[in-house]
A and B are shown apart, each in its own frame.
Chain A
């Protein structure tokens, strides 16, 4: 949400630079999937703090509830039953915005200031500038933003930017009973993750690792995974997320190409007219017709 005391790194549809003088520290939320018990306290805390009330739905036969992210459910736990050898693993991943360093939503957004990336890494939607086109949905490699049916504006996890701005941790972090969700500087979170990963490896999870995908420049929500080599096990967490080539073409090379094409058509017309001059019926045509 708008009007807070966080420095802006990037602003949607704004080709000119944002204030660059100050360089506050990057923050990150670390979600340790291996110590999550799936209690959904984070979902409730999110709903409480952000004043969101998703409609009570129906039971889909699985633990996931609500079944998907929505404009009123910015985080959901996704439960996967995975058989590893003769062992059943219950993989629980808290899904929501990853707060990419290279946000696809921000790249796709046509409305100046509707999507803001703060210097601390938080990517925030400012709904008062949102026009409801849904381009952010197409831009996102994680399928996170959702349009609210009531106002046709896009919503997603703000990483509690309002709390972070006044030195508090996000609501989900505050409430997590097992400490599976941690918050701090990105550097500290990486360090914390590495101790967790060392521990997991010593307990037989050879492929334990940190999910901080390079393809989007790293994220400000990171996961510790037991199977970091196969992130797709965790309810299709993309292995190598990146802004889609289609979106890059649309928001990249097409712009100069189009400018060139339109300018060429206009300039050609102008210079053609002032060099060749207008094309009038010849005198003899006029004469023949008149006679």
Chain B
């Protein structure tokens, strides 16, 4: 019997996602190298330490632009409603694998993750530009650059921790990775994790 599948992400969306993901990995590795002296050797991801310093911000801009595209794709799917609040309040149950609420395309956790990423990306691009040498930093006063460096590191670390949760959630909820690799999910997956979205998708195209 052929498995019934629903398209969740089209090719353009998947490419967009993986551009952001690869940029993130490169930025996180080189960024951690600049943050932790013991991990300075990770600058090797871009060849040499100085090359890492030069390339990191350009990759950052690419990630921001690619993420901006994602923002305009998904923001309207991520407005938080009553079902999401219910989900967030029962997150303990959800963690045990028991779904809560009549979830649409995204659940409360995914929506919170979306907005956390948006917040981090916005902070990262602003502070990154302020601290960017030799092009922009010289136009800003030193106390502002200090603050930018602190906020840049803090928001980057918050984003790294968030992405660990994001990746884990995708691994934990089996059948999710497929949505971002092949673009499809099974009916069973949709029905269990996103029942309202499942109904919308199946009723529209019977």
Contacts and interface: CB of A to CB of B under 8 A. Distances in A.
Given A110-B35, A133-B53, A147-B133, A269 B143 contact: no
A247 B164 CA distance: 27
Interface stretch (A41-49, A179-187, A232-240, A255-263): A255-263
B191 A152 contact: no
A131 interface: yes
B80 interface: no
B19 interface: no
Residue among B37, B43, B54 with the highest chain A CB neighbour number at 10 A: B37
Main secondary structure of the interface of B (DSSP, over half): helix
A280 B174 contact: yes
B97 A276 contact: yes
Contacts of B109: none
Contacts of A125: none
A290 interface: yes
B153 A281 contact: no
Contact of B191 (A111, A112, A280, A285): A285
B197 interface: no
Contacts of A281: 174-175, 186, 188-189, 191-193
Interface stretch (B67-75, B82-90, B165-173): B165-173
Contacts of B53: 131-133
A168 to B, nearest CB: 32
Contacts of B37: 12-15, 110, 112
A112 B36 CA distance: 11
A246 B188 contact: no
Nearest to B137: A134
Contacts of A285: 188, 191-192
Contacts of B188: 281-282, 285-286, 289
Interface stretch (A18-26, A85-93, A135-143): A135-143
A135 B160 CA distance: 22
A272 interface: yes
Given A138-B146, A279-B174, A258 B52 contact: no
Contacts of B175: 280-281
B62 interface: no
Contact of A250 (B137, B150, B192): B150
A247 B171 CA distance: 37
Contacts of B150: 246-247, 249-250, 254
Contacts of A134: 131, 133-134, 137, 145
B165 A265 contact: yes
A278 interface: yes
A130 B48 CA distance: 11
A244 interface: yes
A273 B133 contact: no
Interface of A: 12-15, 110-112, 129-135, 137-138, 143, 147, 149, 152, 244, 246-247, 249-250, 254-255, 257-258, 261-262, 264-266, 268-269, 272-273, 276-282, 285-286, 288-290
